[in-house]
Amino acid sequence: MLLVTLESKEELALVRLSNGVTNAISPDLVEELSSVMAQVKKNCAGMVLAGGEKFFSMGFDLPKLLLLDRSSMTEFFYFFNQVVFEILTIPVPTAAAIKAHAIAGGTILLLACDYRVAASGKVLIGLNEIKLGVPAPYLPDLILRRIAGDVAASEMLYLGEFIDSSNAAKKGIVTSMFPKSDVEDRALEILARIARLPAKAFQASKANRVEAIRSRYENSFRTKNEEFLDCWFSSETQELLSEAAKKF
């Protein structure tokens, strides 16, 4: 069964995470998402990234990842961050269609998109990594601080609390809200308007927007990724992660 699907919407791509109810981020899902991203970059004028009805994504697939040794987890973690980087920097407009909860890794994926279109109501968003003994990865930390500002971002990253889509909109994390049934169509409409404009001008504008993040990440990602992995494999964090894995 495909964990990531691609549906053509004229010149746009609707990319959907399809890993069960929780849409947990496993090594196989990341590999499929990377492959789909390559297709989008080559063939499409824009991409909507969507999830499921109950979870956009619950985040990392902890039951599977806790089975990995340091070498295998390092390979996964670097690859996941590279895919997030590809979403951030892909030279076409992107929008996350958030119909349901986006937790931890789910929030990371939506932060990488140009637009973040969420359902109104109780849709929870947040980076709770610190409660599990790890920092939020470096790349989403950079993105969140650019989007929400240092004060709001620090509050989210230091406390690890979830916020609803309305509060996320106040911080700029959500760019627009609609009824749940309209979210994906509205996200496609936003991208269709951009796709009608000269592509090279958009590409230059997007490159300008992400340049500071791209530069800082490329200069420091190895050190920052290893800091995350050091925390991940500490005994205290392994206990916290094992307890959290019981919810999957």
pLDDT tens digits along 29-72: 999 999 999 999 999 999 999 999 999 999 999 999 999 999 99
Q: Percentage of the chain surpassing pLDDT 70?
A: 100
pTM of the predicted structure, to 2 decimals? 0.97
Q: Would you list the domain boundaries of the chain?
A: 4-195
Report the chain's mean pLDDT, rounded to a whole number: 97
Q: Do β-strands 55-57 and 124-126 pair in parallel, antiparallel, or remain unpaired?
A: unpaired
**Distance, CA of 118 to CA of 96 (rounded, Å):** 8
pLDDT of residue 204: 98
Calculate helix-pair angle for 199-232, 70-89, nearest 10 degrees. 160
Calculate helix-pair angle for 27-43, 70-89, nearest 10 degrees. 30
pLDDT band at 248 (very low <50, low <70, confident <90, very high): confident
pLDDT of residue 13: 98
β-strand partners of 47: 13, 94
Closest of 193, 104, 111 to residue 144, by C-alpha: 111
Question: Architecture of 4-195 per CATH?
Answer: Alpha-Beta Complex (3.90)
Scan for tokens 């800091």, then name that residue: 227
Percentages of the chain per state (helix, strand, coil), in multiples of 5:
55, 15, 25
pLDDT tens digits along 169-224: 999 999 999 999 999 999 999 999 999 999 999 999 999 999 999 999 999 999 99
